[in-house]
Chains A and B, each alone.
Chain A
């Protein structure tokens, strides 16, 4: 009797299979994989223009047969559509493809500048709600161009331009802003999200141009150049920038490759006002010497350290001028610092923070250290007597 019951249970469960069929079964060859989505403002107000790349596996290379001469063709299909919202756009795209759309492998979501300035809150819900979408999708902004134009460009070294966006964001800055990071930053009190921005160079290539600053889900501006390097370092990412310094009374300048920024941020409340103290230690290597200084001399390195520190402080101050005065956006989380350390005080000033943020002053304590000068001391091509010691 027990045996019969024991046999009955698996049989009953197996009838699930027979009744439902192979529910949820999706062969790979019935699936269209979306690699990247670019969203722009459409022709008319209230319309989005959505541009989608679908991967074409055949072009990548099938079994045994190499597509003769067909390798030149890009392994993606471009689909463009206009719709009132993202979900409508999706249904339009579905009507153009013989296979079902699957967005689970989409890793980059590209937003054009015009649309970003207008505000992206309407896009964000669909991206996160659909179970097929991943929160690890990177959000990037196209600067000074439409997302579409950026996606049409050829990409060096990779099969798909998704890879370019992704690798640039991850490898070069190490602060890739996925949707998850964006949401964390938006919901942290006293912090605003950022995104990486890409631009088109004159030779029609994609270049990572800077960091896009968002406030209240609207794009406020871009931080570029040295300030972007400083901001990246401040947010914990990898700095790869080049800082140029020179000593007074010495002709020429040197370039320092910034390796690391060690940051310690402190906030204290005195007399009802927050006081910020930021301690920065910049670590770099000299890899380009355009003076005749002998870099193997430690006293010269001392002087260069001081110049380096001054330059870093100037950069930081200019960064914060832009953030505070031009954009009025607290992207580095100074409000979050207050919130974490003095929650009661934060409750009082929370509503006024966007206004008083612009008036905050930061005391900078910058020290710099040059840890390497490369393989040689002075320039190799100047004669010995001209080298300045």
Chain B
């Protein structure tokens, strides 16, 4: 019955139409049937904008059918004659208009689903830049990108996933700017995706990225339209998913995770300075606890005598070996960090006071952990918060603990081993076909310059 064509030649057919729709969708309280004259308008209140329906559909249809031609004012309409499309359209928020005497149903696009408008970014903030972030509605997101890059080169390819969820996914790229192989490759991967439940862009990300089991992120997730626009202009491709305010960018190199969006909104010297500070601190976020443990337990010849004696004095109180202290403090710090993310906003202040002052101070005074260890862990914690790309922080944190264990067991040799294997691994990793460590690994001098300094846009 669903595949049957709709024929609405008389009022009995209209009743049949109504029955069939009620059968398919169920008699839900928000499924509204509205008759105007000899026409029937079906929509889901909440998804369809009722005021628009009044203005654009009901008013025109209320005229005298005998004397004037029937029309509706909705700009975007489709015609269909099967139930499947009608039901889908209604679920998308369109209004199905069945007019007696016509053998096709008009699907008027009056959808206005609830959304947040254009929100502010809360993860990738810029001090001096635009404060717009994606919202959950795909159309708004695409509109934001279009507004920033008014280029005729922007192309989109559309996919729909899930017979239940019907989530729309679009692949964006700039024609002739993005390499054709990249676009072709990503399209192929999207074609191969068979997902039923598509609750977020991460599902797509895991399905199409290069090494889904890798600990390092091979796809960039961003909530800012200007980042997407910038990436598109540089020849990358973007995947935008409905119901998720996170867009995916391919390809993604290791060095992209250290660039913030602020780099292009600051002057060249400020951006370069920040970049260098970030690099130093990210290195210390990875290595500082391991270096501290390695030097104080294996290589204490390397410290100057005064420093060694200060550290020894503080360590006298603590009963644990350096490695155990480091692991205790690291786990406490990670626990505090995760708790702060999960808790209700109003408690953040209180708990951070508890965490920092009470735990830190009390642990030292109780003589469980030595002060230099607290210093090291705090600096490491702050340094790891400097990583702009959220997913890379996890990679660094995991790697840090592994290096810590290696350092505690084998000193510098352990750290060297760990770093060596990490480097080998990273060199072999690929993102959308591009090696992960470009431009350092396949060495390209020109791109390297833009990595070390943020190149000035204009040369005087």
Contact = CB atoms under 8 A, between A and B. Distances in A.
Contact of A28 (B297, B371, B411): B297
Interface in B364-404: 364-365, 367, 370-371
B310 interface: yes
Contact of A55 (B309, B317, B406, B411): B309
B313 A61 contact: yes
Interface residues of A, number: 30
A22 B406 CA distance: 10
B301 A57 contact: no
B421 interface: yes
B411 A27 contact: no
Nearest to B408: A22
Contacts of A107: 305
For the residues of B in contact with A, the DSSP-based class is helix
B321 A33 contact: no
A63 B310 CA distance: 9
A28 B409 contact: no
B152 to A, nearest CB: 45
B312 A29 contact: yes
A343 to B, nearest CB: 39
Nearest to A55: B309
B309 to A, nearest CB: 5
Nearest to B305: A105
A291 interface: no
Contacts of A62: 313-314, 316-317
B425 to A, nearest CB: 9
A35 interface: yes
A104 B308 CA distance: 11
Contacts of B308: 28, 33, 105
B233 interface: no
Interface in A45-62: 55, 57-58, 60-62
Contact of A27 (B297, B317, B414): B297
Contacts, number: 88
B195 to A, nearest CB: 26
Contacts of B417: 10, 13
A184 interface: no
Nearest to A22: B409
A22 B417 CA distance: 15
A79 to B, nearest CB: 18
B313 A17 contact: no
A55 B311 CA distance: 13
Contacts of A27: 296-297, 315, 321-322
A63 B311 contact: no
A16 B410 contact: yes
B74 to A, nearest CB: 56
Contact of A17 (B298, B305, B365, B406): B406
B300 interface: yes
Contacts of A203: none
B313 A26 contact: no
A29 B316 contact: yes
Interface of A: 10, 13, 16-17, 21-29, 31, 33, 35, 55, 57-58, 60-64, 102, 104-105, 107, 132, 162
**Top 4 A-B residue pairs of the complex, sorted by shortest distance between their CB atoms:** A57-B312, A57-B313, A104-B301, A105-B305
